[in-house]
Amino acid sequence: MIYSRRPALQRQIEQARDQLVHSRLLVIWGPTGCGKTHLVRSLHADMIGAGPLVFQEAAGLDSNRFESQLFGHLQGSFSGAVRDFHGLLGAAGEGTLCIEGLEALSSADQAKLLRFLQDKRYRPVGAVKERQWKGRLVFTAQRSLAQLREDGSLRDDLYFRLNGRDLALPPPAKRPEDFQDLCDALVNTITKEILVALRIPTRDELIALQADPPEGNLHGLRNLLQAAMIQNCAPIELQEKTPPEINDELPDTGSLPGDLEVLEGRLLQRALRKHRGTRTELAEKLGISRRKLMYMLKAHRLN
């Protein structure tokens, strides 16, 4: 699997792949938007008989039901258990389970992982017999294991089980050799997700974008590419379409409704300046319907 054109990083990724194959455990850490999820997908796709790929945000796991969510439970094992539940491990099967945001796991939940990480055996809630898990487990984190341990986000015993099985992934800005490949991967993903014909950015347009990349690492890059593909224009054009600066002084039209209308227009300008996604995504961010947003943009001549 060729993931990076930077030889040193490619060697580290190949070593991480070997680690995932043999120990079935890996931690990928780096800042938000550095491509951790994209790398997990690539590693999983490179596995023989890859099986299912399951993602779960650690922050979305309920500490009171952690064992049930992860290991599953049997019908009748507790109030509300109306049927057998396979849990995340069962859903992943012989595939890959990725728990995103290791630092969000509580100390108590981390303790429940220790024995499972040792021998990959677990017992669903209410079960008598243990089960052997044959899948692969990947954690992602925004900081190194040493940093998480130092600030108390990671238990010492869990640190020693994970240490040496981690990979640092630098942000895209520190690996410019990979910019074009990352764009191609993002464009391919966007094309598959949006089931209509979209304009594909040309190579020259992506080269121009590399000279002036958007903020927000891969998240910002994806939003910009998606917006350009939907709006049928070059990505760099959206970079240059910056609404006029907003005057921070309060308006004085002589009436409250008039002042509120001016302020509404300014707030819409600010939202447009900061947002790189679709109108539907912007409406959701503003807490209004898309129809309402389009009406407001038309009323303020911002469409």
Tell me what the mean pLDDT of segment 9-17 comes to: 95
Residue 45: what pLDDT?
A: 92
Residue range 263-276, pLDDT digits in tens: 888 888 888 877 76
Give the orientation angle of helix 203-211 with respect to helix 179-193, to 10 degrees.
Answer: 120
Domain 7-170 has CATH 3.50.50.60: no
Residue range 192-206, pLDDT digits in tens: 888 788 899 999 999
Residue 243: what pLDDT?
A: 47
Q: Residue 28: beta bridge partners?
A: 140, 167
CATH of domain 172-241: 1.10.8
Residue range 143-160, pLDDT digits in tens: 999 999 999 999 999 999
Query: Residues near 176 by Cβ (< 8 Å), separated by ≥ 6?
Result: 210
The answer to whether the beta carbons of residues 9 and 19 sit under 8 Å apart is no
Tell me what the mean pLDDT of segment 245-256 comes to: 69
pTM equals 0.74
The overall longest dimension of the chain from CA atoms, in Å, is 77
Between residues 289 and 242, which one has the greater pLDDT?
289
Residue 300: what pLDDT?
A: 84
Weakest mean pLDDT among 56-70, 158-172, 175-189, 247-261:
247-261
